[in-house]
Structure 1
Amino acid sequence: MMVYIIIAVGIMLAVLALTLMAISKGYDYKHSIDPMPDNENKSEDEKDHTG
């Protein structure tokens, strides 16, 4: 019976370790954004409304 408890605790620790590694990897992810478009890329409608 003690063997089953040790195996269960080992599995729980392995799942906990994998969960913490996945969370850490998610927080380390570097997000990137696209640059702002130039004024030349605006459509004619937007140019008319801005003056």
Structure 2
Amino acid sequence: MTTVLIISIVIVIGVLIFTILSINKGYQYKHTIDPIENNPHLQQDESEERKE
């Protein structure tokens, strides 16, 4: 019984460590966006608004 408990605790601690590492890596990811000048969808929307 003690062996099962120890193995379970090790597995839980391992999963917790990997979860924390993956969350930290996700927060470190640098998101980028397209500038307004190069956004083809914005140009389409502006031309549609002018037609109306």
Q: With structure 1 as the length reference, what TM-score do the two structures score?
A: 0.71
Any runs of at least 4 consecutive aligned residues in structure 1 with deviations exceeding 3 A, and if so which? none
Stretches of structure 1 lacking an aligned partner (at least 5 in a row): 47-51
**What is the CA RMSD across the aligned residues, in angstroms?**
2.1
Q: Which has the higher contact order (CA 8 A, sep 6+)?
A: 2
Q: Of the two, which has the highest radius of gyration?
A: 1
Stretches of structure 2 lacking an aligned partner (at least 5 in a row): none
Q: With structure 2 as the length reference, what TM-score do the two structures score?
A: 0.70
Richer in helix (by share) = 2
| CA deviation string 1:12-44 (max 9, x = no partner) | 001100110110011001000101127xx5538
